[in-house]
Amino acid sequence: MDDLFYFIIAKYNYWASLVLLFIGLYGMIVRNNLMKKIIGMVIFQTAILLFIVSIGVKRGATVPIIEFSADKQPLLEASAYANPLPHVLILTAIVVGVAVLGVALALLQKIQRVHGTIEEDEILEDLRK
Amino acid sequence: MMDQAPVLMIVVPVFASLALTLIGPLGHRAAYGLLIASLSLSLTASLAMLVQVVQTGRAVHYRMGDWMPPMGIELVIDHLSAGVLALVGTCSLLTAIYSLHTARQDNPDRLHHYYALFALLVAGLLGMTAAGDVFNLYVLLEISALSSYGMLARGRGPAYYATFRYLVMGTIGACFYLLGVGYLYIMTGSLNMADLAEILSRPELRESVSVRIGFTLIILGIWIKMALFPLHAWLPNAYSRAGTTTACLIAPLMTKVSVYVMLRMMYTVFSADYVFQQIAWSRLVIFLASAAAVLGMITALSQRDLRKMLTYIIVAEIGYLTGGAWLANTAGYTGAVYHILADGIITLCLFMAVGAIIYRTGESRAAAMQGIFQRMPVTAAVFLVGAASVLGIPPTCGFFSKWYLLQGAVQAGAWVFVAALIIAGLVAAVMFFKLLEKAFFGRLDDLMIEKSNGKPGTAALKIRMDEAPLTMLLPLVFTGAALVGLGIYTNEVVQYLIRWSVPSGI
Q: Percent of chain A at pLDDT above 70?
A: 99
Domain ranges, residue A79: 2-128
Cα–Cα–Cα angle for A13, A17, A19, nearest 5°? 120
CB B400 within 8 A of CB B438: no
Residue B304 has pLDDT above 70, yes or no: yes
pLDDT digits (tens, 9 = 90+) for A66-125: 888 778 888 777 777 888 888 888 999 999 999 999 999 999 998 888 888 888 888 888
Supply the ipTM of this predicted assembly: 0.91
Mark B134-162 as b/e (b = at least 16 C-beta within 10 Å).
bbbbbbbbbbbbbbbbbbbbbbbebbbbb
pLDDT digits (tens, 9 = 90+) for B176-198: 999 999 999 988 888 889 888 88
Residue B237 binned pLDDT confidence (cut-offs 50, 70, 90): confident
**Mean pLDDT on A47-60:** 85
Residue B242 binned pLDDT confidence (cut-offs 50, 70, 90): confident
Q: Does B179 touch chain A (CB under 8 A)?
A: yes
Q: Does A80 touch chain B (CB under 8 A)?
A: no
CATH of residue A17's domain is 1.10.287.3510
Q: Looking at residue B419, what is its pLDDT?
A: 92
pLDDT digits (tens, 9 = 90+) for B388-409: 999 888 888 889 999 999 999 9
Residue B217 has pLDDT above 90, yes or no: yes
Task: Please report, for chain B, how many H helices and E strands are present, in that order.
Answer: 24, 2
Q: Do A55 and B163 touch (CB under 8 A)?
A: no
**Mean pLDDT on B192-208:** 87
CA distance B486 to B506: 25
Q: Do B167 and A107 touch (CB under 8 A)?
A: yes
Q: Looking at residue B241, what is its pLDDT?
A: 83
Q: Looking at residue B338, what is its pLDDT?
A: 92
pLDDT digits (tens, 9 = 90+) for B40-72: 999 999 999 999 999 888 888 888 888 888 888
Residue B128 CA: distances (Å) to CA of B81, B263, B264:
10, 13, 11
Q: Do B164 and A89 touch (CB under 8 A)?
A: no
Please, is B461 exposed, middle or buried when counting C-beta atoms within 10 Å of its C-beta (0-12, 13-18, 19+)? Answer: exposed
Q: What rounded mean pLDDT belongs to chain B? A: 87
Which residue from B138, B69, B150, B75 is spatially nearest to B107, judged by alpha carbons? B150
Instruction: Please give the tally of structural domains in chain A.
Output: 1
Q: How many CA atoms lie within 13 A of A71 on its CB side?
A: 0
Report the chain B residue with the minimal C-alpha distance to residue A41: B168
- CA distance to partner chain B, nearest, from residue A112 (Å): 10
Residue B434 has pLDDT above 50, yes or no: yes
Chain A residues near residue B163 by CB distance under 8 angstroms = 107
Q: Percent of chain A at pLDDT above 90?
A: 32
Q: Looking at residue B460, what is its pLDDT?
A: 45
How many CB contacts within 8 angstroms connect chain A with chain B?
70
Q: Do B172 and A89 touch (CB under 8 A)?
A: no
pTM (two decimals): 0.92
- The length of chain B, given as a count of residues: 506
Residue B345 binned pLDDT confidence (cut-offs 50, 70, 90): very high
Nearest Cβ partner for A48 among B161, B178, B191: B178
Q: Do B164 and A111 touch (CB under 8 A)?
A: yes
